[in-house]
Amino acid sequence: MTERRPRSFYVLACFFGLFLLFLYGPMISILVLSFQGPEGGLVFPMTGFSTHWFQRLWEGGGQVEIGSALRRSFALALVVMVLTVSFSVLAGLAFRRQFRGATLLLYVAIASLIVPSIVVSLGIALEFRLLDDAIKAFGASAGIDWITNDFVSALGPFTSGLGAHLTWTLPFGLLIMFAVFNRFDPAYEEAARDLGATPWQTFRHVTLPMIAPFLIGVAVFGFTLSWDELARSSQVMGADNTLPMQLAAKTTTVTDPEIYALGTATTGGSVLLVLVTFTLVSLMQRQRRKG
Amino acid sequence: MSDAQMVELASVTKRYDGALAVDAINLKIKAGSYCCLLGPSGCGKSSTLRMIAGHEDVTDGDIMIGSRVVNDDPPAERGTAMMFQSYALFPHLSVAENVAFSLRMKGVGRKERLERAARMLDLVSMAEYADRTPTQLSGGQQQRVALARALMTEPSVLLLDEPLSALDPFLRVRMRSELRRIQAELGITFIHVTHSQEEAMALADLVVVMNDGRIAQAAPPREIYNAPRTPFVARFIGGHNIIEDNGRTITLRADDIDVLPAGDATGARRRAQVSEIEYRGPDVRVGLETEAGESLTAVMGERAFFDSPLSPGASVAIGWRPEAAHELSRDA
C-alpha cells in the first residue's frame, strides 16, 4: 500500500524547487562560466574549459582598482566586525538593566533597518558635505594652510563609510544580543558574585565565555553585511570604491568572463569564512564538553 | 571550615515597586542549626533567603550574621554561600574548575586550587567526576557539585534555595539524608528554603512557616506538628482537621480521631458518614462527612482498620481524647 500524497504537497514541492533554482541556479551558472575557455564569451555555450580568466584576474589584467577595492572592503569589514561585536555586547548588557527610556531607545536604534539604505547613504553624504564646508570655512578663517591647500572632503571609507555600515550592522547585532541575553539565566552571575568575583571577573570568567559562541555569529554577520553592502556604500565612500561598488560599476562595462572568475573567487572566500567559523564554533563546543 | 554563626533578622522588610514581599520579620537562627523556611510560593521565603545572601537589598530592618550587621556587605564578605535552585554550575568549566572558582577569583594558582577542589569533591563523593563538565552529570550529581562549590568558600552559613525541587522523589529522599549528614559533619548553620512540609520536618531543627510575607510560626518540627499556632500552619503542615468546637477553633491530628461504631454513646462527639476510603499501605485514610457538614479526615493504622473495616456510606460516631484537641489562634 502506498500512501497518496495530497495535492498541496506537489504545489509546495514545485515552489520549493523554484526557490532552489533561483537561489543556486545563478551561482552555479557563474561558477561554470568562470571556467570559460579563452575565446568564450559572457553567455553559454562554453567554448572549452580553462582557468584562463582566473589567471587574468590574478595578474590584475589592467584592473588594479579591483585589488585595492578588495583590500579596502576587507579592512572595512574587519573594522565594522570588531566595532559591531563590542558595541552590541555592551548595549545588550545595558538593556538587561531596564533603564528608563529603554524601549524608546531600542526603537530609535533599530529604526535604521526600516529606512531605505539608499536614503541613509544620501543623507550621510549630505551631512558630510556640510561638515566639509564647515572645515573649509574654519581653515580659511584660522589660516590653516593644509586645509586651504589639500583638504578635499571628510568623506571616506573609514569615516562616512564606516558610519553608514554601522547603521546597518549595529541594529542586527543588538537584536541578536537581545535574543542571547533573553535566555541567559542571571543566576550564573549571582553565583559568580556569591563566590567572590568582582563585576569585571564575572564578565570575564562567566558571562563572556558563555556568550562567546553567539559572538562569533554576530562577528560573521557584521563582517558579511559590510562585505557585500552596496546601497549604503554608494554615496559615502568619497573618492574610493569598495568591492561591491567596483563590481557594480564593472557589470555595466564588462565584456569578458573575468567578472565571473571574480564572482567565483569572492563567493569562495565567503564560503571559506563560514566554514572556518563553523569549525571554530564546533571546536569550542567540543572543548566545552571535554572541559 | 569556619565557625558556625547565628543569623538574626530584625524587622527585615522587602518591597518591590510598592508590593510588599517581606513584612518586618523577626527571626533568630542559632549557630550550627538547620533552619527551613517553609511556605507556599510567593510567601516571601525566597526573598528572605536572597536578602540574607546579599543578592537582594533590604528595604528596611537589619540582618545580622554573628555579631555583625551585614546589610551593606557584598555577598562574598558575609561569610555566607548560596546554593542556587538551578545549581547555576558554569557550563564552560569542568567540575573541578567550578568547585575551584572562588579560589581562582582570589588568585590562587591552578595546581593548589585544583588540589583543594579535589578534597572538597571527596566530601560529596564526586572525586572521580572532576574532569567532566556539568552537562555530563545527572541532576543529583550536579547538586553535589553545587554544594561542593558553595562550601569551598568556607562559609559559616550555607543558604539553599529549593535545593531538592529539581530531583525525582527517590533521589530527593536520598539527598535529604546527605544534606543532613553534611550539615552535622561541618557543624555550620544551614538555611534551606522549601515548599515541602515533609522536607522541612525531615531536615530542620527550626521550621519557619511563612505566609504573606510574615512568619506564621517558628518552632521545632514536633512543636509545629503538634501545636500549630494558626489555621494556616495547621493546613499547610497537613494531617490536621480544623473545626469549630464550643466557640473555639481547634485542630485535631488525623491520627487522633477515633472512628467508633454508630451506636457508641459514650465517646461520641460527632455523628458522621464515611465518604471515602483510601488505602495507603501502612495506613488507611478515611474521609468523613459530619452531620453539621464538616469534612474530616481520619488516618487509621492498616491493621486497626481491617479489624473492623468500613465502607463508603457507613454511619459512624467520631470521638477524640480531650487532650488531642489543640486550640488555634486566628490567622494574622
- ipTM of the prediction: 0.85
User: In 3-state terms, what secondary structure has residue B29?
Assistant: strand
Please report, as a single letter, which amino acid is at residue A228: D
Distance of CA A190 to CAs A177, A194, A197, B105, Å? 20, 6, 9, 14
- Asked whether residue A239 is domain-assigned, the answer is yes
- Asked whether residue B332 is domain-assigned, the answer is no
How far is B257 from chain A, CA to nearest CA, in Å?
47
For residue A141, give its domain range.
64-290
Q: How far apart are CA B75 and CA A192, in angstroms?
A: 10
User: In 3-state terms, what secondary structure has residue B16?
Assistant: strand
For residues B245 and B293, membership in a common domain is answered with yes
CB A164 within 8 A of CB A121: yes
For residues B166 and B209, membership in a common domain is answered with yes
Tell me what the mean pLDDT of segment B165-175 comes to. 88
CB B249 within 8 A of CB B294: no
For residue B285, give its domain range.
239-327
**Which pLDDT score, from 0 to 100, does residue B120 have?**
92
CB A155 within 8 A of CB A125: yes
**Which pLDDT score, from 0 to 100, does residue A291 have?**
45
Whichever domain contains A206, its CATH number is 1.10.3720.10
Most A CBs within 10 A among B51, B70, B105, hence the mutation to make, goes to B105
CB contact under 8 A, A192 and B76: no
Higher pLDDT, A281 or B117: B117
Please tell me which of the candidates B105, B133, B152 has its beta carbon nearest to residue A288.
B133
Whichever domain contains B275, its CATH number is 2.40.50.100
C-alpha cell belonging to residue B253: 491530628
Give the strands of the sheet with B157-161, arranged side by side: B80-83, B157-161, B189-194, B34-38, B206-211, B214-219
The C-alpha cell 527610556 sits at: A101
Q: Among B185, B180, B191, which residue's Cα sits nearest to residue B30?
A: B191
Q: How far apart are CA B320 and CA B316, in angstroms?
A: 13
**What would the DSSP string read from start to end of A149-168?**
HH---S-SIIIIIHHHHHHH
Higher pLDDT, B200 or A274: B200
CB contact under 8 A, B92 and A288: yes
Torsion of CA A276, A277, A281, A283, to 10 degrees: 10
Most A CBs within 10 A among B101, B110, B157, hence the mutation to make, goes to B101
The C-alpha cell 548560596 sits at: B82
| Chains A, B: CB pairs < 8 Å | 75
User: In 3-state terms, what secondary structure has residue B286?
Assistant: strand
- Asked whether residue B233 is domain-assigned, the answer is no
- Of A56-60, B36-40, B159-163, B164-168, the range with the lowest mean pLDDT is A56-60
- Asked whether residue A6 is domain-assigned, the answer is no
Whichever domain contains B17, its CATH number is 3.40.50.300
Q: How far apart are CA B164 and CA B192, in angstroms?
A: 10
Q: How far apart are CA B112 and CA B118, in angstroms?
A: 10
**Which pLDDT score, from 0 to 100, does residue A50 have?**
82
- Asked whether residue B166 is domain-assigned, the answer is yes
Higher pLDDT, B81 or A3: B81
C-alpha cell belonging to residue B1: 571550615
Q: Among B178, B318, B199, which residue's Cα sits nearest to residue B207?
A: B199
For residues B57 and B198, membership in a common domain is answered with yes
Tell me what the mean pLDDT of segment B157-176 comes to. 90
- Asked whether residue A18 is domain-assigned, the answer is no
- Asked whether residue B116 is domain-assigned, the answer is yes
Question: If 0-12 CB within 10 Å is exposed, 13-18 middle and 19+ buried, where does residue B237 land?
Answer: buried
For residues B284 and B162, membership in a common domain is answered with no
pLDDT under 50: residue ranges of chain A: 291
| Phi and psi, residue A102, nearest 5° | -60, -45
Q: Which residues contact A38 (CB under 8 A, 6 or more apart)?
A: A48, A50, A52
Please report, as a single letter, which amino acid is at residue B96: A
**Which of B181, B203, B226 is a domain's end point?**
B226
- Asked whether residue A12 is domain-assigned, the answer is no
**What would the DSSP string read from start to end of B186-228?**
H--EEEEEES-HHHHHHH-SEEEEEETTEEEEEE-HHHHHHS-
For residues B152 and B66, membership in a common domain is answered with yes
- List CB contacts (< 8 A) between A195 and chain B: 76, 81, 101-102, 105, 149, 152-153
How far is A275 from chain B, CA to nearest CA, in Å?
23
- Of A12-26, A168-182, B263-277, B285-299, the range with the lowest mean pLDDT is B263-277
Query: Which ranges of chain A would DSSP assign to H, the alpha helix?
Result: 7-33, 52-59, 64-95, 102-110, 117-142, 145-150, 162-182, 187-194, 199-202, 208-227, 243-253, 258-290
**Which of B170, B195, B226 is a domain's end point?**
B226
How far is A197 from chain B, CA to nearest CA, in Å?
6
For residues B65 and B212, membership in a common domain is answered with yes
- Asked whether residue B75 is domain-assigned, the answer is yes
- Asked whether residue B270 is domain-assigned, the answer is yes
Please tell me which of the candidates B91, B105, B131 has its beta carbon nearest to residue A197.
B105
Q: Is the CA virtual torsion B86, B90, B96, B101 positive or negative?
A: negative
- Asked whether residue A47 is domain-assigned, the answer is no
Number of structural domains found in chain B: 2
Q: Cβ of A36: how many Cβ atoms within 10 Å?
A: 25
For residues B205 and B293, membership in a common domain is answered with no
Q: How far apart are CA A276 and CA A270, in angstroms?
A: 10
| Residue B8 binned pLDDT confidence (cut-offs 50, 70, 90) | very high
Q: Which residues contact B101 (CB under 8 A, 6 or more apart)?
A: A192, A195, A197, A205, B90, B93, B149, B152
- Helices A162-182, A64-95: crossing angle, 10 deg rounding: 40
**What would the DSSP string read from start to end of A90-151?**
HHHHHHTT--TTHHHHHHHHHGGGTS-HHHHHHHHHHHHHHHHHHHHHHHHHHT-HHHHHH-
Chain A residue with minimum CA distance to B148: A195
**Which pLDDT score, from 0 to 100, does residue B203 have?**
94
Higher pLDDT, A39 or B217: B217
C-alpha cell belonging to residue A163: 558610519
For residues B273 and B199, membership in a common domain is answered with no
User: In 3-state terms, what secondary structure has residue B43?
Assistant: coil
DSSP class of residue B162?
A: S
- Asked whether residue A42 is domain-assigned, the answer is no
- Asked whether residue B2 is domain-assigned, the answer is no
Number of structural domains found in chain A: 1
CB contact under 8 A, A201 and B135: no
Kindly provide the b/e burial profile for residues A257-271, where b requires at least 16 CB atoms within 10 angstroms of the residue's own CB.
bbbbbbbbebeeeee
Please tell me which of the candidates B55, B76, B92 has its beta carbon nearest to residue A195.
B76
DSSP class of residue A49?
A: B
**Strand pairing class (B270-279; B60-65):** unpaired
CB B188 within 8 A of CB B4: yes
Average model confidence (pLDDT) across chain B: 92
- Asked whether residue B234 is domain-assigned, the answer is no
Higher pLDDT, A236 or B279: B279
- Asked whether residue A205 is domain-assigned, the answer is yes
For residues B149 and B32, membership in a common domain is answered with yes
How far is B11 from chain A, CA to nearest CA, in Å?
24
**Which pLDDT score, from 0 to 100, does residue A289 have?**
58
- Of A174-183, B263-272, B318-327, the range with the lowest mean pLDDT is B263-272
